[in-house]
Amino acid sequence: MLNIVLFEPEIPANTGNIGRTCVATNTRLHLIEPLGFRLNEKAIKRAGMDYWDQLDVTTYIDYNDFLEKNPGAKIYMATTKAPNVYTDVKYEPDCYIMFGKESAGIPEEILVHHKEDSIRIPMVGDIRSLNLGNSVAIVLYEALRQNQFAGMNLEGHLHRLEWDI
Binding residues for S-adenosyl-L-methionine: 100, 121, 129
- Of 17, 13, 10, 19, nearest to 53 by C-alpha is 19
Closest CA to 96 of 118, 73, 71, 112: 73
Q: In 3-state terms, what secondary structure has residue 6? A: strand
Q: What is the DSSP string of 67-84?
A: HHHSTT--EEEE-TT-SE
Known binding positions: 100, 121, 129
Instruction: Return the beta strands (E) in the chain as ranges.
Output: 3-7, 28-32, 57-60, 75-78, 84-85, 96-99, 118-120
Q: 134, 21 in Cβ contact below 8 A?
A: no
